[in-house]
Amino acid sequence: MDALLETIVGWLWGLPLIFTVLFVGLYFTIGSKLFQFSYLPHIFKETFGKLFGKKEKSEDSKGILTPFQAVATAIGGSVGVGNIGGVATAIAIGGPGAVFWMWITALLGMITKTVEVTLSVYYRNTDEKGNPYGGPTYYMEKGLGEEKNFKFWKVPAILFGVGIFTTFFITLQNYTISEAVSSTFDIGMIPASFIYLTIIYIIIYGGIKRIGEIASLLVPFMCMFYVIAGLYIIFKNYTEIIPVFSLIFDSAFSGMAAVGGFTGAAIAQVIRMGVARAVYSNEAGWGTSPMIHSTAKTSHPIKQGMWGAMEVFADTMIVCSITAFTIIITGVWSSGLDGAALTLSAFEIGIGEIGRYIITISIFLFGLTTSTGWYTYYEIILRHLFNNEKKLALKYKILTLFKWLYPIPGSLMVIYAVMNDMPGKAVWYFADITTAIPTFVNLIVILFLSKKFFELLRDYKARYLNIGIVDPDFNVFYEDKVKKGIYK
């Protein structure tokens, strides 16, 4: 089965998709005149800098969540088991060189995430209670269907929606958490899975607003907790930092021969693992976190888009790098372990037995915010599917039923894996399969809608950076056009 899964992943994450991920990021980087790099200080100021300044008050800022609650939920959805188990598996399969390709994908992904978040906010819908919801299916309908008159917009929307919902059946959070908790606290994976399932029910019962509030409390704590522990190990072995960089860069372009328990990796495998794991971790191009960003209170789509860029930066350039350096610097990357077990081993070697407890708690918190964050993505897609007013009663019945069903497949996967003695590597192959189709569809769509993003970026620069002339007739949100009767 391992061989079959590896073949499928190799095909899905072959040259076409890898090229698309990197090309789209490069296209928007050049088209925006290196926005994520040249305006990085401004992006920091307008995102994390706003947390410590005066809060913006605007009557035009409509939404369910504050910008920080939205990004906390999105980071909670992306900074998860992928940062711990996913990075470890990328190194275990692709070697240290995979880390370089994760960095490249993330740096380009900063602008990709900015684009998809911006478009999600611009094209979002308002429900019967006045709450906004958006995402890729919304900009496919309005951007492709209404503005570009593409009659078959439902085809990419269905492919995207089906691709996203495969993660409902194949989910890694419950598995990775159960694996870590089981090995650390000496309880079975199945009991650990049911404990986790119960906590998920408690949180999602409060709805999207409650999830945002909990994420805004947990995310800063869990990231700092994990980063401090990782930095301690890295700086304790400071003499190895330069050699680790050398190992990463050397093996990024040459692949790597077998070392210890490491099976060796060809250059194609190194690139594939780096790109695939970066997308799974920071979700740039996947089209997932823009759905929660679309519910944020903001007066301009680009403002929330910049939070998307910072989300990718925090996820990959900081948290994933901490994981990678810890694994490589402690020398366990070639031990033959993979997934959460590899990261647990690295932290245990780095700071003793307490390191295992730190990582287990981190995995639990990361997974918790990921699972609850992803619930919001499914809900937003379902809301779009049943958007017709005549289906209002049916919509709430479906949402209620889904709320009860949502945590169950994760536990079923744990039971299946335990009963069939499935290795962690095989489970992560499933993850790569679920990301490929929606990522490819979403990236192609945002390329077609690139003109709208560049228009919004120019308008933002004119309004807030005094670069260019503000067009008083420019519509900052798509619904403004609808109100004017431009689109119905």
Residue 130, pLDDT score: 72
Residues 436, 350: contact at Cβ < 8 Å?
Answer: no
**Does the structure show a pLDDT above 80 at 76?**
no
Say how far residue 240 (Cα) sits from the centre of its chain. 30
Q: How much is the average pLDDT of 432-444? A: 85
Residues 32, 457: contact at Cβ < 8 Å?
Answer: yes
- Please say whether the dihedral angle defined by the alpha carbons of residues 74, 79, 82 and 85, taken in this order, is positive or negative: negative
Q: How much is the average pLDDT of 442-467? A: 95
CA distance 343 to 349: 10
CA distance 458 to 222: 36
Residue 66, pLDDT score: 63
pLDDT digits (tens, 9 = 90+) for 354-388: 878 877 877 777 777 777 777 777 777 777 777 65
Residue 257, pLDDT score: 57
Residues 292, 377: contact at Cβ < 8 Å?
Answer: yes
Burial category of 68 from C-beta neighbours within 10 Å (exposed 0-12, middle 13-18, buried 19 and up):
buried
Residues 115, 305: contact at Cβ < 8 Å?
Answer: yes
Average pLDDT, the chain: 80
Residue 231, pLDDT score: 92
Residue 258, pLDDT score: 53
Residues 453, 119: contact at Cβ < 8 Å?
Answer: yes
Q: How much is the average pLDDT of 43-72? A: 62
**Does the structure show a pLDDT above 70 at 397?**
yes
pLDDT digits (tens, 9 = 90+) for 154-208: 999 988 888 887 777 766 677 778 877 887 887 888 888 888 888 888 777 766 5
CA distance 445 to 451: 12
Residue 367, pLDDT score: 75
Select from 419, 451, 384, 462 the least CA-distant residue to 157.
384
DSSP 206: T
Residue 259, pLDDT score: 62
Structure tokens at 474: 């420019």
- Please say whether the dihedral angle defined by the alpha carbons of residues 235, 236, 242 and 247, taken in this order, is positive or negative: negative
Burial category of 158 from C-beta neighbours within 10 Å (exposed 0-12, middle 13-18, buried 19 and up):
middle
Interhelix angle 241-254/97-122, rounded to 10 degrees, is: 80
Residues 311, 282: contact at Cβ < 8 Å?
Answer: yes
CA distance 155 to 152: 6
Buried b (16+ CB within 10 A) or exposed e, 109-142: bbbbbbbbbbbbbbbbbeeeeebbbbbbbbbbbb
**Does the structure show a pLDDT above 80 at 465?**
yes
Residue 94, pLDDT score: 84
**Does the structure show a pLDDT above 60 at 214?**
yes
Residues 270, 98: contact at Cβ < 8 Å?
Answer: yes
Q: How much is the average pLDDT of 11-38? A: 89
Q: How much is the average pLDDT of 304-333? A: 90
Residue of 105 and 430 predicted with greater confidence: 105
**Does the structure show a pLDDT above 80 at 213?**
no
Neighbours of 225 (CB within 10 A): 14
Q: How much is the average pLDDT of 344-357? A: 85
Residue 58, pLDDT score: 45
Q: Model-level pTM?
A: 0.82
Per DSSP bridges, beta strands 125-126 and 132-133 are antiparallel
Highest mean pLDDT among 122-126, 244-248, 353-357: 244-248
Neighbours of 239 (CB within 10 A): 8
Residues 72, 219: contact at Cβ < 8 Å?
Answer: yes
**Does the structure show a pLDDT above 60 at 434?**
yes
- For the chain, give the percent of residues with pLDDT over 90: 25
Residue 206, pLDDT score: 67
**Does the structure show a pLDDT above 80 at 3?**
no
DSSP 466: -
**Does the structure show a pLDDT above 70 at 39?**
yes
- For the chain, give the percent of residues with pLDDT over 70: 79
Highest mean pLDDT among 40-44, 421-425, 431-435, 448-452: 448-452
